[in-house]
Amino acid sequence: MNIGTKDLGDSTFSNIIRIKDIGTIYQHLILDGPKPMYTIYYPVTLNNGKSKMNLITVPSWKDNPFSLFCEINEGLTRKQIEAKKGSDEASKYWCPLRPNLTYNALVMDKKQSIPVINMASYTKEIKNGIKTVWDAPSPKDVTKMDYGFSWMITLGITKELKKPEKGISPNNITYKVRQINSPEKYRGVIPMALAKDTTLTVNIDEKVGFIVKSKQYNKEMKVPYKDIFNDEEWSAIVNCQLELDVLIAPMNEKEVQDKLIANPPLLHGLNAQSQPFMLNWKETLDEMTKRKLILPPVSDMSTGYLPERSAVQQPVQQATGTEDKATVEHTNPDVLAFLNDSPAVEQKTTEIQNEDDWDVI
């Protein structure tokens, strides 16, 4: 399967594994990652008039073409919310063009009958749970890893309701990560220090397995692949052409510019729940025009382009002063920040009602 493209929305977006179904135990063995990825999702209009979701990948929360637009939009919208519902509710609003932060990894889904390496997308809560399992010390000797190296461990990841009687809601979702399987012969024998060894390298020898080397400790360790994988699984690993760093690399400025101009965001569109995608989008554009700021490309504008960074003027006032610390995390890429969504810093999620309307082009 070819997902070796930075522009994941073109053809392979639907192949990314996500922890979506409540109660299902996803069995993942992680071969690389998880690593952070910032993505902006937005609706566009197709020739047939139907709206679809599109995306761009950006370097960080701040380094993206909509930062200035989002600051002004959040400032205007939060003032309105604060006047009606107070400052606590106002602080929960984030512009939907803010980047979503996910932690992506190359994984083998151990529940699949035919072994395949795919990219998985995790929330921060899942990422932290994975680290807890990987870092677990042996109960017999705390200087040793309980389960061995990360690529030896099959993880069980589940999406659960905190209180089942309250039903599905953003505040009632949690994720659990546990160890399901790891080779017994490596449990409690590999030094914990190797997990933090920055000189550690792991190479694949097709006939042997994994060759682990540490310059810091001047050690080499051979792990036969049959200790962990069957022949079909090993063949999938050896023949995998995917590179995580390539897959999660942000688009460069020209790639972003070309894509936004070709399919500009439909700011007055609706989301999958038939709610407005963007609150105060017109007022935000008017405010940017008033301040003589360069407008981002959006649908129904006669002209639009991305400025050079040096040409972007800073807004007269900041939205809240908290944006630098904020991160937006969602279980699914289809989820965007809306008025009634939970604050990004609390890492809440929203369930998708109609995924067919949120295909990515």
DSSP string, 112-148: -SS--EEEEEE-HHHHHHHHHHHTPBPSS-TTBBSS-
In which element (H, E) is residue 361 found? none
pLDDT tens per residue, range 184-207 = 999 999 999 988 888 999 999 999
Q: Is the pLDDT reported for residue 38 higher than 90? A: yes
Check residue 278 and give its pLDDT. 85
d(CA 157, CA 58): 27
**Cβ-based neighbours of 253, under 8 Å, separated by 6 or more:** 306
Banded pLDDT at 272 (limits 50, 70, 90): low
**Higher-scoring residue by pLDDT: 335, 179:** 179
**Higher-scoring residue by pLDDT: 111, 298:** 111
83-110 mean pLDDT: 92
Banded pLDDT at 243 (limits 50, 70, 90): very high
Report the mean per-residue pLDDT for the chain.
79
Banded pLDDT at 71 (limits 50, 70, 90): very high
pLDDT tens per residue, range 136-166 = 999 999 999 999 999 999 999 999 999 998 8
Percent pLDDT > 90 in the chain is: 53
d(CA 7, CA 64): 15
51-79 mean pLDDT: 89
81-90 mean pLDDT: 91
**Cβ-based neighbours of 38, under 8 Å, separated by 6 or more:** 57, 58, 59, 60, 61, 64, 99, 100, 101, 250
Check residue 326 and give its pLDDT. 38
Q: Among 276-290, 309-323, 339-353, name the one with the lowest average pLDDT.
A: 339-353
**Could you tell me which of 120, 156, 149, 150 has the C-alpha nearest to residue 27?**
156
99-125 mean pLDDT: 94
Q: Is the pLDDT reported for residue 285 higher than 60? A: yes
Q: Among 42-56, 137-151, 181-195, 338-352, name the one with the lowest average pLDDT.
A: 338-352
Phi/psi of residue 144, nearest 5 degrees: -115, 150
Check residue 44 and give its pLDDT. 83
Q: Is the pLDDT reported for residue 324 higher than 50? A: no
Question: C-alpha 175: how far from its chain's center?
Answer: 15
Banded pLDDT at 299 (limits 50, 70, 90): low
Q: Is the pLDDT reported for residue 316 higher than 90? A: no
d(CA 78, CA 320): 9
Q: Among 70-74, 203-207, 330-334, name the one with the lowest average pLDDT.
A: 330-334
